[in-house]
Structure 1
Amino acid sequence: MKYKPRLTQMVSWCILVLSKSSRLVQVGTGEGKSCIVAMFAAYQAMTGKTPDIISSSPVLAERDAKEWSAFYKELKITVDVNTNKSEEKKLKKCYECHVVYGTSDSFAADWLRQRFLRQDVRSKREFQCVIVDEVDSLMLDKGLEVVYLSTEIPLMESLNGILAKIWFEINQLKHFETGEILGPIQLFSQVLSEIITKNKNIDQHSIVQMAVDSGIMPVRSSMQMQENLENVLKQLDNSSVVQMVAFLTIFVGKFPQYFFKLYQERPDGTLRSLNEISPACTSERQEISVLLLGNGKCRVVHFEEDSVIMSMGQTIQIAFQSESIKIKMESHIPGLEDLINGKVQTWIENAFLATKMTLGHEYVLHGVGVAPVDYKCTGVVQNDMKWGEGLQQFLEMKHQTKLSNMTLITNFMSNVGLFKKYTNQIYGVTGTLGDQTELDMLKKLYNGIETCKIPSFRRRKLYELEGLVIPEEDEWIRTVCNVVKYQVSSTVYRGPRAALVICETINRAVNFYRTLSVTISLDKLKLYVNNNMNNSTITDSTIQAGDIIIATNLAGRGTDLKVSETVNEAGGLFVVQTFLPLNVRVEEQAFGRTARQGNPGSAQLIMCSSHFSDLVKLVMGENPSLTSLLSHLDSLIQKLHSLKETLFEETVNYYLENHSSQTHDAVTSALTDLLTINSFPSQECSLEKAKDVRNILVNIRLSGFLAQDIPKILKKEELFFVYLDLLDNAYEDDKDDQLDVIVSSLHECWGLWLLMHSSEEKTIEMLKEQLKVDLLSAKQKLMSKQSPSSMVYYYIRSGNKLREKGRLTESIEMYTKALEGGASGEIIPLYNRALATIKKKDTGYITRALADLEKADKAIVSYKSYLAHILIYIQLSSHVPETEGDTLLSKQFKIKFMIVNLLKMNIQEAVMKLKRAASIGGNVSLTEKHPLFLVVHIILSNQILLGDLETELMHIMSLGLEEIFSLDTLFSASGLVSKILKLMK
């Protein structure tokens, strides 16, 4: 097989080979970047290095590895790709090759498997050299992307109830166009209770007396309720608006630090301010705005979102503290209460954000859940990515898909962290490097990296039409459609062309598709918006005359569209970008889909100004606050116009009367000045202005990345490396048979510590020392059989391990500690303790096991109620139109209830057998089974449920239900005699 590189490819290769340190090379689109990458990788391999090649997607990595395998084989160089492998043996074999293709995500994940999970996948492969095909993952805006391996944290499920309540309350809010926000409908007594909780000076007797004075409570009733404030407050729950106003008037007179502002809702849905209840004179007072509804109900009026977030956060904290376990642990590892107090406001903020996010814009529904879309950059649906801090769960609740648990990040590697491992051996070949500012910042991030641009082998035949900025969306849609239809229609001087319409979001692409489908044949229209769909009819086929591809940035990045000769003869592919691209690099890559490999093509930007970001509008002066300034400028311009027009008229009259060359020059000067004023900056091309503003904002954003965001992620990675060293010590020092239990618990301790401490304003050295001290303390607690936190699932894990080893007394002790802690729930520790007790079979084991199983049976009732509350909260919050059949969420909860009910039946059957054995003084025989046996009869009769049942069973097993059991009663003559004798006594 012979390979004949072109001149530009050889020059690029030579520049990379001669570079002693990191180098990025820009090569024109269609110039054969993959060839340059393969040649340079082969050179590195032949010099004894093991180059890693990073592509922008798994598809491209697998394609290039396959296409160039024969080339590598000719040179006796082994090659493989890591994106399509998950088994440890296959990955190890992959990394033993000279050259490995993959993505930044797959290389980072495999390093985590090696270093964090201690799987032998990378073996002895070092980070010697990396070659990047397209430099997106290197850039600052991608440097923050983080890869992590999911870790099952059982107790994160306990937060779903709080998230569901937050989502319910957020959806009860009412927003007014004037800016006010009505809080959820609540009892008047709840508002008062919150005030009393915060102010310890408000005594119970005063509240009772005010209730009597306002006519809410009779005197006789008040005498009986002096000792119970809760009963007093309940009396307020049926009060009328008049009674509530009277009560508040007396309350303010007694406690002048409060000031109540009352509102009423008009029939047209707006708010009307009523009277104010305020003390006669006081400078410092707490204002509370309330809409009174009668029947003891009201709604707090807020004037900004932050006020709602703070109020809801305080309510949830108070509610949780009243229900939470009062046992306090002396530990620096956060517990459940610490987590809620520290994160509840962030969860509420993300609930607000979820209500504002749009399906088909920032995310799509994929499979059984929600998947983010990188709509600003690549257009890729990120199937393996989940949002954190509750945002993922709120979006799942919004669309009633399957509800996942929040995750706790215990391991991670960022793009910037990955590339820094290659020190000064980062090489790249790309079609677009971006602007100089971005490159300058890149050089600061990766010390010593150099760049160069290689001239094209063929002159590029791209004609860029003048861009347009359309103010109204309807007009913008019509303009784009008309331009596209004109390009794909034949004219007197050319035949029909093909068009690629690149849209910012999936929704807008679908909108264009629907609009064009009215006049364009559907066999000519193609939609390319989702990488989860089969797009081979677009990517593998040749584009014919009249074809229109409507796409997101998915088609604007790395897609090599094949254009027919007929289309090229008519002028090539026409690309229209319908939005202001994120940066120059994204813009150039989109236009790079046409005029490739010497073929002709044209492109145009047609944008809608109403789609610009708020910052772009602000700087461009399209916001209301700058309108007055612009109007003053316009009036000044009009005055200048009138002055010039007068001067022009006088000059013309003089010219007509005195025709000469001098007067001709004066007329020319006056006309030139007038035209110059008519082209005052207010008429400046808005397209170029938008681009300039975009570039300024990009520079500001990238500066923020470099100054703030990148240091934050690198700080977290430094702390992670400290934890990895501590983990190594745990593996080396501990020879206990519970090592895996201790390691799993340490992972949870570390994840909780990072969640709560990483944002602290401390130096990295102080945080490192604190981390070492706190985790060593946690390890010592674990070694002494104590859990370091109520959020660490140590006791049940340890109990299961001890039971498995036959150390039943110790196992029972661990389950007892889990019950005392309370955070692990009751069902599983009670069930497992009963199992260990029956296995031990010491004196009185039947009585003790029976007591545990009866308690577990009752605990299941409470757990079902908890699940039902979550489901009801979410369903009541739905704004999605009802469809026939169950939602994914309701199906998921049906499966949950099904498994819990089957466990309840298993418990009740065991209780019956134990009671029978106790009644005859007999014993029981025990059979342990995999939890799958709970549902095996359902699976055999309904295969469709297999996947769902397996998922929920895996979850319940992660909570510690690793075995279920069945019992048989054994007759014992001696036991029966003993039982009869006891009864006779």
Structure 2
Amino acid sequence: MIFYTDTAQRTFSIETLNKNNPTIADSLLTNKLLETKFLEILSAYDHDSNLTPLGKKISQWNSDDITNWSNNLLTQNPSKAVDDNFLPEMMAVIKRANLIDTNNDPRLAQILSILMLLLHQPDKGRLIQVATGEGKSTTSAMLAVVLALRGEKVDIITSSQVLAQRDALERKEFFAMFNLQVEHNTSEEKGKLPRYCYSANVVYGDVSNFQGDLLRDEYKAYQTRGGRPFNSVIIDEVDSMLIDDNSKLVRLASHIAGMEYLETLLAAIWSELGRLDNHLIYSAGQQSHYFIQGAFKYENGELTLFNNENGEESVAYPINDASLFRQEHIEYYIRQIIERKSVFIPEYLQEFAISQIENWSKAAIAAKSMTENKDYVIKDKSGYSVIAPVDYYNTGIIQDKTSWQNGLQQFLQLKHALRLTAESFTTCFISNMEYFLRYGCKIYGMTGTLGSHDAQDLLSSIYPVDLAVVPTYKPKQFVELVGILAHNSEEWLAEISHSIVEETSKNRAVLVICQTISDVYKVKESLLNSGYPSDKIKLYSRNDNDEYLAVGTNIEAGEVIIATNLAGRGTDVKTTKEVEDAGGLHVCLTFLPDNLRVEEQAFGRTSRQGNHGSSQLIIDQSELETKFGSEVNFIDNIADLKNLRDVIEHNKLEKVKTSGADNLKRNDRLFNDFCKFTNELRNSNDNEFKLAQLEELWGIKLKQISEQCKRLEKTSCNSAIEEYAFKELNSFKAEMRVQYFNGYSIMRNPAYLVREGVNKLGEGNRYQQSIDLFDMAINLDAAYSFAGYYNRAYAKISQGYVLSMQSDDDEDEFDASWQVSAYSDLMAAKSQIESVIIPGLVSIQIISNHKPDSELSKQIRNKINLLKEQINYIDSAAKTIENCKSGCITQISDRILLPDLFSSDIPEDEILELNMFGILQLFELDTVEPESSVFDGLLVAVLGVAQIFVGALCIVAGNYQWGVAFITEGLQDLYKSINAIQSGHFSWNNYWTEKGITLAVTLEMMGAENLAGKLGATKVLTKEGIKTVVKEEVKLTTQELVKKAIKESAIKTVVNIGLDYAATGLSKAAVNEFKDEIRDTVNKKISNSLLSQHMVGSLSHIMMVDDFNHNAKGRNAINQGVADILTSKRNIIGEITSKVLTSLSHSNYSTIKAVAYTARAANTAHDVSKLQDFADNFCQSLEGKIRYIESNLPSLADLLYSSSRPIISMAEATEIVKTLERIGAINNNQFCPNAVEIIKL
């Protein structure tokens, strides 16, 4: 009868605790249903089974008896399991199984908790508050058996992966007694097939793993869950998941090829912010921020300004709002970089980059203020250091599978010189709220703290649940000491140390809970400095190492555990009898939690299961202003501080209730709608690359919709916002549906076309489809298609070899023009790597200014070395083509996968990056002689024409980021395609470094020093010499300050840009090597004409004007001129080639090596004569055209003035040019070939 008495008391306590919950009172208490069911369980436990009589009490059963009983239930009487009248016998058997498995008889509170959860209303789930230490893990397992025996698939969601793994393994035998399988989903098994774990009756896991697998199942269509339904979910720490993390999103990382190209821009932003902050000071005396233009020193509150080498004064400008000033300047700086094309950004990322300006600015500033071991940790992962966020506000967990968005992760990586990871889009996501709502009214949750009335109201308003409280099975013996509010950090640490020493002197143990990992170290250091023995101190600050062992054994008298909030939730700190006799565990909470629930969870680490214990808050008031505002400075006691905290929490929960939940639901609905749309397209045409492009475009569209919805929240109601969002989505879907089924018109990112082409290489021994795809990729963005060029060369060689071997043509009709075309592609790929990709990487190294042994430096070196390997293979293949004898053709002789290039230390991430662009392998060539081959003949004439055209345009390109390819087609019966290739051989030994330096200098000059000049007329300190800040000040708005400019930096920038263009455009080595490679009379004529000093100067002038104007107007005029000349001479070309040359194509790459093929022999002297005459005529016409174009161009002084006014005057611009002329860098308005060397001297 003692048990009965306890039960009656317990049900009375339940009634008292839930007196304001009519649902509980009516359904469980008024009719004594809870008490009745419990007594029936006890009765069934003391009797034999009605279902499977074994001749003995259930309390005497062994594991085999339980297995036989469950077999009978599952196979013969499944309907019994769902009958509430059969529940007492089920619970009695489960009670016996738990005793066998754990040697612990379930406590009264655990059985009552299960009954309260099971006896819920049909249309609602139930969340219950169970005191800490009442064994929620056992309750979850027993409840799961009931639900699984009823035929439901049960998901148990724990607060961490560690707990999921532990419980699934420890309770495996328990579930096996009932013929039930239990698994966990925390393994790294992530493929495109169903995961084995989801076939189990019961699956343990943390919520992020469940959500990630759901996204892979429904969005990626991997069938990850294997058709597993959303039957029932049991949630541990339900308040954390459904309130604190209610809006948390889990997303699948979507790597988008080409996002790496933005890293140079991000590095420039980070560097610029550093320079800006180095010139921003705060004067306490003046109570103002100042921006300092020029050299200065700031020590002990005194500002000293210096003159520069020209005697010009440094100036201090007052700044009204430093935060706004920093953000506006960085935004302005980013916009200038993009508009001036100071760094290379692919066409398909231009819109994204512009849309990210504000986000990147905020992220860079945030990264500056964030602190290691507080906001994040740097941890080792697979041999590399990674940034891992810390949830220090709530759980203290290190979230090593989480990364920040909008550039924040990348700026933190730059801050610590870690390996850079590419930014990703949010495309595939699900919120906690959306996930849990999948279970409908089968949500069962437990927590130690349901929290305030506001928190409980929020739970019941969002989820279909009611709430109840279960009393402890023993009264708590807990004392909360009066809290201490310290005024500063030193006082705070002293108070904590004093409290620890005082409590441990009583033979007690102490758990110190800090907010951050950094605070843990500070408290430990302070305690050691006070003389406390180090062997008595344990740390539990991280969940990613073995510190958890600190709470794995009984804590002894005098021992101190210093922990983060990892120990504040779900941790069972066991104490020895000596500690309990002395008063139990003392908890020192060193920060004010954001809400009552987190506070109660922390205090719940002591006085568990009827034990003694105490707690105390010790708070550093100086740290609270950031969280609570300046109002906190007027609070002098903990009680008022808690009241302020609760008001803020109330407002926060109200906002979630009124708008936050609607926003989450809208975003989840948007994604679900898009997910259905994607599956519709996939079912009609399952093309992984089109789908990848669709996902990329969706990410950009979703970002636009979300940002506009945020703006509308200020003025519009939820229904209007909803209408806008879905109108935009439907419009997007309609557009995408048309483009998806219209060939490849949906494509924006060339990498997807390249990879599609690679996949189709050699299908049916055919290559044209791949060539067509590579063509499309190059046309999308020729400046960023080195993978397209390289793979197209491979495809052309493979196709040409197959066709040549299959040809039955006579020897005189042999066509090997595809080799010329392939050679052109190889040189284009090489040029792009050398002039765009590698300089960008070098500039990151220079801008970031980190040590050579940093992870970032090593990563960049790995990337460059891998690209150099590709260049080596390109050079080798090109040499094979160059040396191919008449009558022979080239073929692919070997294919090398990128990992096979390395015997050890394989750069896997760098290889994966190239793979994403479509570079999966490198290839080698050799030559063979086909059965029928005539490689010369009219090829001599056509190559001559090609070299005429390219000989001019290579000089126009001038080793910068543009080029022209001239293609002739249609040579009847003899030619399928002839490529005109830019000639000139450039030395690249020092080019990559020089380009990187040039880019780094240009970016820096656009930055803080430039800004300083923009701070116009508000001089505070103007006299020569050394000064101190005075009170006199004339303040400008931030916007006005940003719009000013500095004369010196502007002049240096434009001059250096001009010198760079000239240096890279007029290389003597390029000219000499070009001449060395021309061995026939036609090419000599062209070289003598177009490489003359006058023509080189004219072409340089045209090129320079184009680059200053950021367009290709002059180049395009030359292109059109060449086209007009060739068209007008079509009758002459027809005589030579028997086919009019009609096809012109434009490409955007530079420094392509001259065609190394030379004429072997003309068939007749007549053909050579005709070709020579044509060359003379062509050169004269082209020279006239170039002179005409140049005559309409502005001078260098005009350019300097137009691009820099009003910073410099026309007179100053003219003076700059005259200075350069005097030192020999410029001659007749044109840069000399050795201008850079002259300037250096």
State the TM-score, normalizing by the size of structure 2. Answer: 0.61
Offset of residue 87 of structure 1: 4.3
Mapped to 1, the partners of 2:153 and 2:362 lie a distance apart of 46
User: Quick check: which has more Rg, 1 or 2?
Assistant: 2
**Structure-2 separation of matches of 1:791 and 1:182:** 45
* Offset of residue 713 of structure 1: 2.5
CA deviations over 1:24-48 (Å, ceiling 9, x no partner): 1111111111222222222222222
Give yes or no for the alignment of 1:821 onto 2:787.
no
Residue 138 of structure 1 corresponds to 241
- Which structure 2 residues correspond to residues 417-428 of structure 1 after superposition, within 5 A? 417-428=434-445
1:545 aligned counterpart, secondary structure: coil
Of 24, 27, 30, which residue of structure 1 is paired with 2:127? 24
Q: CA separation in 2, counterparts of 1:296 and 1:845? A: 65
Matches of 1:764 and 1:402, distance apart in 2: 40
Change in CA separation of 1:983 and 1:171 when aligned onto 2, cut-off 3 Å: farther
Among 887, 895, 915, the residue aligned to 1:929:
895
Equivalence for 1:476? 492
| 2:876 corresponds to 1:909 | yes
From 734, 742, 757, the equivalent of 1:784 is: 742
Counterpart-to-counterpart distance in 1, 2:762 and 2:649: 58
Q: Return the alpha-carbon distance in structure 2 between the equivalents of residues 728 and 921 of structure 1.
A: 53
Q: What is the CA–CA distance in structure 1 between the aligned matches of 2:608 and 2:730, rounded to whole Å? A: 56
User: Do structure 1's residue 371 and structure 2's residue 409 form an aligned pair?
Assistant: no
The unaligned stretches of length 5 or more in structure 2 are: 1-62, 64-95, 100-104, 713-719, 804-815, 938-1158, 1166-1241
Q: Shift of the alpha carbon at 1:147?
A: 0.9
Q: SS where residue 394 of structure 2 aligns? A: coil
**Following the alignment from structure 1 to structure 2, what is the Cα–Cα distance between the partners of residues 523 and 465?**
27
Compute the displacement of 1:869 (Å): 0.8
8 Å CA contact 1:81, 1:100 repeated in 2? yes
- 2:467 matched to 1:451? yes
1:627-679 per-position Cα deviation (integer Å, ceiling 9, x unaligned): xxxxxxxxxxxxxxxxxxxxxxxxxxxxxxxxxxxxxxxxxxxxxxxxxxxxx
3-state secondary structure, aligned to 2:233: strand
Contact 1:567 1:573 in 2 (8 A): yes
User: CA, structure 1 residues 621+185, in 2 after alignment: closer, same or farther (shift >3 Å)?
Assistant: closer
Q: Equivalences for 1:310-709 in 2 at 5 Å?
A: 310-323=328-341, 335-367=348-380, 368-447=385-464, 449-490=465-506, 496-518=507-529, 519-622=531-634, 686-709=637-660
The alpha-carbon deviation at position 310 of structure 1 amounts to 3.0
Partner AA of 2:829 in structure 1:
A
Distance 1:554 1:180 in 2: 41
Shift of 1:61: 1.5
Residue equivalent to 2:706: 758
- Secondary structure of the structure 2 residue equivalent to 1:143: coil
Aligned CA distance change for structure 1 residues 91 and 829 (closer, same or farther; 3 Å): closer
Equivalent position amino acid for 2:824 in 1: A
Does residue 846 of the first structure (1) align with residue 819 of the second (2)? yes
Residue 561 (structure 1) shift: 1.9
Given that residues 524 and 547 in structure 1 are in contact (C-alpha distance below 8 angstroms), is that contact kept between their aligned partners in structure 2? yes
Taking only aligned residues, the RMSD between alpha carbons, in angstroms, comes to 3.1
Q: In 1, distance between residues paired with 2:787 and 2:872? A: 15
- Counterpart of 2:245 in 1: which secondary structure? helix
Q: CA deviation at 1:818?
A: 2.2
Q: Please tell me whether the aligned partners of residues 79 and 97 of structure 1 are also in contact (alpha carbons under 8 angstroms).
A: yes
SS of corresponding position for 2:258: helix
Larger mean Cα displacement after TM superposition, 466-475 or 706-715: 706-715
One-letter amino acid of the counterpart of residue 224, structure 2 = V
> What SS does the corresponding residue of 1:177 show, helix, strand or coil?
strand
Distance change (3 Å), C-alpha of 1:324 and 1:871: closer
1:937-956 equivalences in 2 (<5 Å): 940=903, 943=904, 945-946=905-906, 949-956=907-914
Counterparts in 2 of 1:571 and 1:786: CA distance versus 1, 3 Å: same
Preserved contact between residue 922 and residue 971 of structure 1 (Cα < 8 Å): yes
Residue 607 of structure 1, CA deviation = 1.0
1:147 to 228, 232, 250: 250
Distance 1:386 1:170 in 2: 22
Q: How does 1:700-849 map to 2 (within 5 A)?
A: 700-734=651-685, 739-760=687-708, 761=712, 763-788=721-746, 790-791=748-749, 793-805=751-763, 807-822=766-781, 825-841=784-800, 843-849=816-822
Alpha-carbon distance in 2 for matches of 1:296, 1:775: 60
Quickly say closer, same or farther: Cα 1:181–1:86, change in 2 above 3 A: farther
Q: Per-residue CA shift, 1:490-548, capped at 9, x if unaligned?
A: 4xxxxx22111111111111011122224222221111111111125313222122211
2-structure distance, mates of 1:268, 1:5:
67
Residue 35 of structure 1 is aligned with which of 138, 147, 160?
A: 138
Q: Structure 1 residues 784, 184: closer, same or farther in 2, change over 3 A?
A: farther
SS of the equivalent of 1:523 reads: helix
Secondary structure of 2:205 counterpart: strand
How many Å apart are 1:786 and its aligned residue?
3.9
Higher relative contact order (CA 8 A, sep 6+): 1
Distance in 1 separating the partners of 2:438 and 2:350: 38
Residue in 2 aligned with 1:650? none
In structure 2, relative to structure 1, the CA distance for the partners of 1:351 and 1:611 (3 Å cut) is same
Cα separation, partners in 2 of 1:272 and 1:930, compared to 1, 3 Å: same
Distance 2:729 2:782 in 1: 24
1:604 is displaced (CA, Å) by: 1.2
1:965 aligns with 2:923: yes
Shift in Å at residue 981 of structure 1?
4.2
Q: Which stretch shows the higher mean deviation, 968-977 or 759-768?
A: 968-977
Shift of 1:764: 2.5
Shift in alpha-carbon separation, 1:769–1:930, aligned structure 2, 3 A: farther
> What is the aligned partner in structure 1 of residue 112 from structure 2?
11
**CA offset at residue 71 of structure 1?**
2.5
- Tell me: CA distance 1:485–1:269, structure 2 relative to 1, closer, same or farther (3 Å): closer
Q: Distance in 2 between matches of 1:896 and 1:299?
A: 43
After TM superposition, give the deviation of residue 89 of structure 1 in Å: 8.9
Measure the CA separation in 2 of the matches of 1:824 and 1:790: 14
Q: What are the superposed Cα offsets for residues 190-231 of structure 1, whole Å, 9 maximum, x if unpaired? A: xxxxxxxxxxxxxxxxxxxxxxxxxxxxxxxxxxxxxxxxxx
1:215 counterpart residue number? none
Query: In 1, Cα distance between the equivalents of 2:189 and 2:782?
Result: 34
- Following superposition, the deviation at residue 117 of structure 1 comes to 1.4
**SS of the residue 1:370 aligns to:** strand
Given the superposition, is the C-alpha separation of residues 322 and 819 from structure 1 closer, same or farther in structure 2, using an over 3 Å criterion? Answer: farther
Q: What CA distance in whole angstroms lies between the structure 2 residues aligned with 1:861 and 1:709?
A: 50
CA distance in 1, matches of 2:783, 2:547: 47
Contact 1:69-1:79 at 8 Å conserved across structures: yes
Secondary structure at 2:505 match in 1: coil
Q: Which moved more, 1:362-371 or 1:85-94?
A: 85-94
Q: Is the CA contact 1:812–1:836 (under 8 Å) kept in the aligned structure 2? A: yes
Of 605-614 and 821-830, deviating more is 821-830
Partner of 2:185: 82
After superposition, the C-alpha distances for 1:349-405 in whole angstroms (9 at most, x for unaligned) are: 110111011111101111222110001111111000000000000010001111111
Structure 1 length-normalised TM? 0.77
Q: Quote the Cα distance in structure 2 between the aligned partners of 1:591 and 1:563.
A: 15
> For this pair of structures, how many residues does the alignment match?
803
Asked whether the 8 Å contact 1:138–1:419 carries over to 2, the reply is no
User: Structure 2 counterpart of 1:746, which letter?
Assistant: L
User: Per-residue CA shift, 1:107-154, capped at 9, x if unaligned?
Assistant: 111111110111122222221221111114433321111111112201
Q: Name the SS for the 1:121 alignment partner.
A: coil
% identity of equivalent residues: 31
Distance (whole Å) between structure 1 residues aligned to residue 520 and residue 345 of structure 2: 56
